[in-house]
Amino acid sequence: MARTADPAATAIPARLLADAVHALWRHWYEPPALTLTPAARARASTLLWADLYPAFIASLPAAGEVPLAP
């Protein structure tokens, strides 16, 4: 996982944000889906990893850093 060592940083690496969001989604959204039917679980997984996550990654700035303030 990417890290930033500077607590006063004004931006973070896009890879760090992508890793954090991936971990959050993997641990917060996938476990509740285990209670769903297999078809619903597959649909939820497709929505997360084939639709939402790629759209999130595409929304990150091309420069490689994400500003921490607007």
> With the C-alpha atoms ordered 54, 60, 61, 64, is the resulting torsion angle positive or negative?
negative
Percent of all residues in the chain with a pLDDT value above 90, rounded to a whole number: 43
pLDDT higher than 60, residue 2 = no
For 12, the enclosing helix (H) or strand (E) is strand 11-13
pTM: 0.76
Q: Among residues of the chain, what percentage have pLDDT more than 70?
A: 91
| Helix (H), strand (E) at residue 70 | none
The neighbour count for residue 52, using CB atoms within 10 Å, is: 14
**pLDDT tens-digit map of 42-64:** 998 899 999 999 999 999 988 78
Q: What is the pLDDT of residues 4-36, one digit of tens each?
A: 667 778 888 999 899 999 999 988 888 787 888
Phi, psi angles (nearest 5°) of residue 15:
-60, -40
